[in-house]
Every structure is written in C-alpha cells, then in structure tokens.
Amino acid sequence: MTHRTPPSDAAIDVTALCARDRQLLDAFQRDFPLTPRPFADIARRVSCDEAEVIAAYRRLTAGGAISRIGAVVAPHKTGWSTLAAMAVPPARLEEVAALVSTYPEVNHNYEREHAFNLWFVITAPSQTQVAEVLNDIATRTGLDVLDLPMIDSYRLDLGFPLQWT
C-alpha cells in the first residue's frame, strides 16, 4: 500500500462543483493537449482564460479531486524501471528507507506489512543502470534486494464519464 497524503482540510465536495470544474475533470481525463501551452488550449475549448484553468486545476488538486496531472509513459519506452522489495529488520527500517530514498533513481518507497516490508520503484535510462542501483543498495545495506521486473504489461483505461448527482 502506498502512503498517500490525505486531502487537506479544504477537501472539495465534488457534488458541489461548478459546471466548469466538472467539465475540466471530465473532459480532459483523456486527450489532454500535448502542446507547449496545454492549459491555454483547454481554456479555449471551455471559453475562459489560461490563468483560470490553471487556478481551477490547482484548487481541484489541493482539494483532493485530482491526484496528479501528467503523462503516463509506456513501460520501457523511455528507459527502464523495476519494482523492488527488501526484508528489512524492523529496527533498521527507517535507516534503510532513508538510504533508499537518497537515490535519484528511486521514485518512492513504502512500508508493507509483510516479510518483505520495504518496497520501492527504480527508474533509470537503462536496465544496466537499474541493476547497478539495486546492487549498490544491497552492498550498502548488507541486505538482499528482490528485483520484480514487469513481465507482462496491462493497460487499464481509468478514464470514465463522471456521474454528477
């Protein structure tokens, strides 16, 4: 389970969103403009200005209605990544997690209630570089690192028409 920051005290009641906010959430789950100024392009489509679109997305993100705006890149098309896990003695968990987090190739790490209690994702330009990071972590910690590379990829389309009640 990844650790998520809970929405702030200013969490948005999505049932009370204005029509424009609903449109910004619903219409741009897919086909987000891949242009130098995507928010200006969206603004033209919804008849407002770029600053209003940016402010709305910031507000929706701060309120927890949006978790992120960003590209989803097909695995191994622009580099290499792997999921890794370690069985870390509980007394060393914070120390090892802090060390793992120092690597710029590590996207995030998190604790799980399992024998393999520290999990993380590594992304680098090549498979060789990912292996080098895994080996370095193992050497520096004195612990084995389980490499869990993706074998098959599945593309799940998580965009869906939102139901407003």
CATH number at residue 133: 3.30.70.3460
Q: Is 106 left (phi over 0), alpha (psi -120 to 50) or beta?
A: beta
Dmax (CA) for the chain in angstroms is: 59
* Chain segment 24-67, per-residue pLDDT in tens: 888 788 788 989 999 999 999 999 999 999 999 999 988 888 87
In a domain, 25, yes or no: yes
| Pairing assessment for the beta strands 80-86 and 146-148 based on DSSP bridges | antiparallel
On whether both 49 and 104 belong to a single domain, the answer is no
How many independent structural domains does the chain possess?
2
CA–CA gap between residue 8 and residue 14 (Å, rounded): 14
Helix, strand or coil, per DSSP, at residue 149: coil
CA–CA gap between residue 95 and residue 91 (Å, rounded): 8
In a domain, 23, yes or no: yes
pTM as predicted: 0.58
Residue ranges making up the domain that contains 86: 80-148
In a domain, 1, yes or no: no
In a domain, 74, yes or no: no
In a domain, 110, yes or no: yes
pLDDT for residue 157: 66
